[in-house]
Structure formats: structure tokens, C-alpha cells
Amino acid sequence: MQKNNSIDKTTFTVVDVETTGLSARYERIIEIALVRVENLKIVEKFSSLINPQRPIPSFISMLTGITNSDVKNAPMFHQVFPKISEQLEDSVLCGHNLQFDLSFLRNEVQILGNDFNPSHTLCTLKLARKLFPNLKSRSLGPLAYHLNIKAKNSHRALGDAETTAKVLIKLIKQLKDKENIQTIEELLSYQTGVKTFQSLNIKPELQNDFYNLPNAPGIYYFLNSRNEIIYIGKAKSLRERVKSYFSPGADSRVRKIIRQAKRLHHIITNSELTALLAEAESIKVKNPKHNKMLKGYGNKYFIKVLKNNSAPFLDITNKFDLDGCDYFGLYHSKRDAQKIVEFINKTFAIRECDDKEFLKSRPCFLYDIQRCTAPCLGIDINVSKHKAELEEVYRFLNGENQNAMNRLLNKMKYFSSQQMYEKAAEIKHLIDFLLEEIHKSSLLSEPINSAKVLIEILSPSGNDYLILFEGKVFIKGYLYDNKNKFEEILDDFYSGTINNDALPSQEDLEKLKIVLQWLIKNRNRVKVYYLKDYSGKQELFAKLNNNDASDLIVDNTRTDPIYDFNI
């Protein structure tokens, strides 16, 4: 679709979804409707119930009239997605409060292992806010009433989508008359507050660079007239992210970047994760003057299990070493690590004392209140009990021990039943915190110092492959991997020539922090392979590519890509 197309020749597809709840991250779609608009007339309608593979809450059934029995035999999302893709092809995706519908569509498509990033989107709520700033309510019902549109079958997908389509048509007609908006580019600019390049006095080279941005993940960087990089950023969608820089509502720092920038270059990555990693390292390498964040290495903390002790116990450290101890994490703050250690010490009967106290060989008050098994006594049964408790701690840190969480859940339910809501909320916050933090270590199912895994990131534009090896990070085809260390570490591992003395660098730990943070939010797009489970590289690659390793084997005869980003 050309952005200078007249509005009359543009196809719009209006979407509306009904869902099991409000959070796209945790809830699912139960009904979807699409209404196609051409020449400012409704020409086609599509709707379908969808089996969400979970119960529909009663209040949702009361609101929409959709019950569990209605969706029991309905198609699942992956079965209707081809039809949805066909309807959206070469059109502008529209909706009322579109971000809500879009977030659910993105989540459903991510579950299928793909990305959903429409090239152009239009929200009737945003248009209404600009056209009718004094209207008391701009939700769909009141807005339709204001425009003399009769809304039918509210809170059902097709009824709301059809009403939204009629609202869209009337809004566009008003914008054509009142604002002289004639092209789709002008309409999209009006919605976002982005002015045309002419009105912003943007340099022609910068305009052309912007129009060449793809709707793909990657990093972008602005250069001044001396060809110096002045700012580096990353994006899940390069075009959508950079578009915000040309908004009149942009802050003074962004406006300063645009005034100084003459060119805009970009590098496409396979996934958002490799864009995040490339951005963080590029900022440290190039030191652009307008970047304030990511120029240094932030705090990183680990929970350390002191295994070199006769009765191992937990400690918190910001140092990582291959000293025979086990390291879990990593955590952004010392307080986060302390909260987890405090919870473990209160939940599992493991040693908490230092060596001086331990060597006294007499039990302390923690033994009396059953918070410790007193391994300091040196009695076999006490030592064995401590070992068993420590194994449970490992299972908890690996995300396998649900007993501790169940106890917290029961306590939360008890406080709630007693109407002690503040205490129940405190427990809820603790559960949420523990789940998020434990998810980081549970991804690897073993301590960081022992982890030797290959991680596959599923992405429509090409999968990414990372190796986490004893705290070090290696990325296939990475921007800064000129020596092809990804292949080298695999060759060394399977040939038994690994150098175990090399500690992770600050850059490795920074990458590890970024990787773990991203993985816990995108677990449905991740596959983990333990190197020890495969006899060699070829067997591993065959598993990755369904017995076809050609995509992963590096072709040394191929010319390396030439980046205008001067590393």
C-alpha cells in the first residue's frame, strides 16, 4: 500500500475481539470479527467464535453472552488465523481503542511462534480525541450516539466491529472536510500527531532513510553532518519506533537529535532479543553523545551456594567465579537477592550461620524452632537431613518445587477469607516477585556456572541461536562476533578442548542479564537444548532443524555482510 494513496482508494479492515479478561499476557480471545471497508463503504464481514482452551469467567459470559458451551466446539485461533491474515492483507488495520485488540492478536500469534506487526494501524478512539476534544465520553457507544449511528449487539465482536466501521467512515469524511486530509499518510500523521516532513523541515536525506525503514526488529542510529553517530536505539519494529521521533509532542532531547541528524541508518536483526543485545553493546562501543543509558555495566548479584563447605549455605555476591560453588540469578539489585534468600531460609531448614558459629558444633535457636537441621553436630542423620533440605532449595531455584508456593497461596487465601486484604496483598506481591525471579534460573534448570545450553529463539524473520556456557554468552551471526565464537565454542565442547579457566567478562554478564530478562517474558518462543544430551554438533543441528542442519552450518565461502555501521 502506497502512503500517498488517496483515502478513497485505501482499504481498511476493522477488528474487534471479545476475550476471557483484560490482560493480553494471561487471557485469550473468545470471539473475533473483521469488517472490511473499501471506497468508504462496508463491503465484507467476518466473525468467528474461538475456543480459548480455558474456562470463560462468569462475569465475561454475563457481559458478552458467550458461554463455555458456545466455544466448546469452536475453532482454535490457529485455525482461523489464515482467514484473518487474508482479510488484513494490503489494508490498514483499524479498531476502537485498537491497542487492546492488537495486544491480544499479538499474544495469540506469538503463541504460534510468529510476530504480528501490521504495517499501518488506525485507531478511531485517537481520531475522536482530536476531532472532539470536548466530548464527555469517546467510548464506542457514546461516540456512535454523537455521530447518529445506531449501535447494535454491543459487547459482541461483529456488532462492535460494524459500529466501529461506521464511526470510521464518518470520522474520515469529517477530516476530509474540516482538515483537508486526502491521503492515507496525512490520516496516519493526524492520528499520531506526527507532522509531515515538510512542516517539520526535516532534511531530505533523513526523510528518505525513514521511508526505507522496514517493519522488522533491529537497531537504528542517527548520524550528524560529520558522519558521527549521535544516537543508537533498538526496536521491535524499526518503522513504528522511529516514527515517534517526528511527533510534535516529542521531548526536547528527541527534537535535538532530529535537528542535528542528517542520516538515519539501521541494521536488521532476527529478533527483538538480538536487537536489545546489539543496542547495549553498540552504545558502549560507539559512546553516542545523546545516549545516557547503557553506557556502563549495571549492578548484578547472584545467590551463591557455598558448596566448598561441609554444610553448604547461601550467600549473596556481586562476583562470579568458577570456584566450585553454584551461582543462581542474576538479580538487578542486592535487595532482590536478599528477599529470595530470606524466603528460602524461612521455608527450608538449611544452615544460616557463619563458619565461626558453625565450628562451635552446638545447635542454635534456629534448630529449636525447626529452621535448621543442625549439621554442625556432625551427626550423620543431621547432615543427611541438611543435604535433603538443600536439594529442595535447588529444586525451588530451578522452578520445580511447588510446595513453597502452595504454602504462600494458602496463606494468601486465608488472609483474604478473613478480610485481611492488606496482608493478602503483601503475600500476592511476594508470590509475583518470586515467580518472576525464579523463572530466570528455572529457564536453565541448573546453576549458571554449570549451564551449557543452546537456546533457540523462534522468529518469523529467522531464528536466533545463543549458547550460554558457564556464564558466557555466544550468539550466532552476532554483530560483534567477528571470530565466529559461536561455532568455536561448540567445536571445543564436543572435541573436549574447552578452556575452563576463562571467567565471564562484564560484557558476558551484561548479555546474560538482558537474555534472562527477555526470555522470561517470551518463554513461548524459546527452546532450550542441553549440549550434554547430544554426541556432537551434527546431531544437535539435526535436532534443531528437523534433521536438516544446513541453516546452522556456517558457509565460510559466503561473503560477510558489509555494514555501514563501522565497528
155: annotated active-site residue: yes
C-alpha span between 532 and 513 (Å, rounded): 24
Residues 399 and 393: beta-carbon distance below 8 Å: no
Residue 68 one-letter amino acid: N
CA distances from 468 to 39, 423, 456, 500 (A): 54, 40, 11, 14
Q: Considering 78, 96, 120, 155, which one is annotated as catalytic?
A: 155
Ramachandran angles phi, psi of 293, nearest 5°:
-90, 160
Q: Would you call 373 helix, strand, or coil by DSSP? A: coil
Say how far residue 415 (Cα) sits from the centre of its chain: 33
C-alpha 210/C-alpha 239 separation (Å) is 7
CB 363 within 8 A of CB 374: yes
User: Which residue, among 188, 276, 281, 283, has the nearest Cα to 240 in the 3D structure?
Assistant: 188
Cβ-based burial of 369 (10 A; exposed 0-12, middle 13-18, buried ≥19): exposed
- b vs e for 287-319, b when ≥16 Cβ sit within 10 Å of the residue's Cβ? ebebbeebeeeeebbbbbbbeeeebbbbebbee
SS3 state of residue 1: coil
Helix (H) or strand (E) holding 218: strand 218-223
Pairing, β 464-469 against β 314-317: unpaired
Going by C-alpha positions, the residue among 19, 26, 20 that lies closest to residue 57 is 20
Sequence-separated (6 or more) residues with CB below 8 Å from residue 505: 472
Give backbone dihedrals phi and psi of 475, rounded to 5 degrees, phi first.
Answer: -125, 130
Task: Report how far apart the first and last C-alpha atoms of the chain are (Å, whole number).
Answer: 36
Burial (Cβ within 10 Å: 0-12, 13-18, ≥19) of residue 268? middle
**Furthest CA-CA distance within the chain:** 89
CA pair distance 175, 181, nearest whole angstrom: 6
Taking CA atoms, 145 is separated from 124, 142, 148, 151, in Å, by 14, 5, 5, 8
Are residues 300 and 517 in contact, defined by beta-carbon separation less than 8 angstroms?
Answer: no
Distance of CA 229 to the CA centre of its chain: 27
The residues, ordered by sequence, that sit 6+ positions from 437 with a Cβ below 8 Å of its Cβ are 331, 336, 340
The x, y and z cell numbers of residue 305, run together, are 551456594
Q: 97, 164 in Cβ contact below 8 A?
A: no
Active site residues: 155
